[in-house]
Amino acid sequence: MLNLLADPAVWASFLTLTILEIVLGVDNVIFISIAASKLPAAQRRTARIVGLSGALVLRVLLLFSISWIVSMSEPFVTLAGFGLSWRDVILGVGGLFLIWKASTEIFTEMEGSHGPEASVVQATLVAVIVQIMVLDLVFSIDSVITAVGIADHLEVMIAAVVIAILVMMIAAEPIGDFVEAHPSTKMLALAFLVMVGMALIADAAHFHIDRGFIYAAMVFSGAVEMLNLARAKRRRELAAAQVDGHK
């Protein structure tokens, strides 16, 4: 262990892998924020902490099963020249679930909740925790495979994953509160999830979409949304000042 701490190459791989895990966790944080928002306010923090703690355990187990994870990319059946692997199946199913989940939330935001049952049947704590763990597992498959190529030591991989999960735990609450307080931002976040779901399905079909393009679109759209929010806030302040001036 002391030899690892004294090796600059190990520190370089650790920093690279940690940044990669945090960046790849952006879409996961958005999903966690949306999923937890369906719970009562008192349960949201519990859902985030327990869900991400379970996700951390699953990621570490994946790292201990590196050879099995790598073998998941090997086709187990060939259909019309298309080699289907378990990685493709998991990414495809995860992408479809993400699109279904985001589309359902968009419909709810647009149409609203109607009827007495709609306000009661929102989500259960266990269901949200399971969703967070399962989606993190889908999101982390490629990052775990990437980790194998970046770092040579299991200890480095685990340390990077732990830090990335801790960052997600810290970031999920303020991001969730912000998204919940701004409906237009929530709609944008849901649109991001649809885009990520499409990217997962494309990967499953062996049409890789560089995540850099997706994140660039997210940053640009987010910047435009921040300008819209700032403009709306400025207009409210001017309107309030005019009202005060007429009194």
Task: Encode pLDDT of 159-214 as tens digits.
Answer: 888 888 888 888 888 888 887 777 778 888 888 888 888 888 988 888 888 777 87
Percent of the chain at pLDDT > 90 equals 0
Structural domain contains residue 54: yes
Residue 82 has φ and ψ, to the nearest 5°, of: -100, 120
Q: Residues 128-148: pLDDT tens digits?
A: 888 888 888 887 776 676 666
The tokens for 155 are 């200890």
Question: 173 and 33 in contact (C-beta within 8 Å)?
Answer: no
Is 33 inside any structural domain?
yes
pTM of the model: 0.72
Whether residue 140 lies inside any domain: the answer is: yes
203 in Cβ contact with 209 (< 8 Å):
yes
Is 236 a domain residue?
Answer: no
In a domain, 97, yes or no: yes
Confidence band of 247 (pLDDT split at 50, 70, 90): low
User: Residue 229 to residues 149, 172, 185, 226: CA-CA distances in angstroms?
Assistant: 41, 20, 9, 5
**Residue 48 domain-assigned (yes or no):** yes
Rounded to an integer, the average pLDDT of 22-39 is: 80
**Residue whose structure tokens are 């987010």:** 222
Query: Exposure string (b/e) for 17-31, b if CB count within 10 Å is 16 or more?
Result: bbebbbebbbbbbbb
List the domain range (segments joined by +) for residue 29.
Answer: 2-209
From residue 240, alpha-carbon distances to 181, 183, 215, 232, 243 in Å are 20, 22, 37, 12, 5
118 confidence band (pLDDT: 50, 70, 90): very low
Torsion of CA 196, 201, 204, 205, to 10 degrees: -130
The domain tally of the chain equals 1
Residue 228 lies in a domain: no
Let me know if residue 239 belongs to a domain: no
How far, in Å, are 67, 138, 150, 221 from residue 184 at the CA level?
44, 27, 38, 12
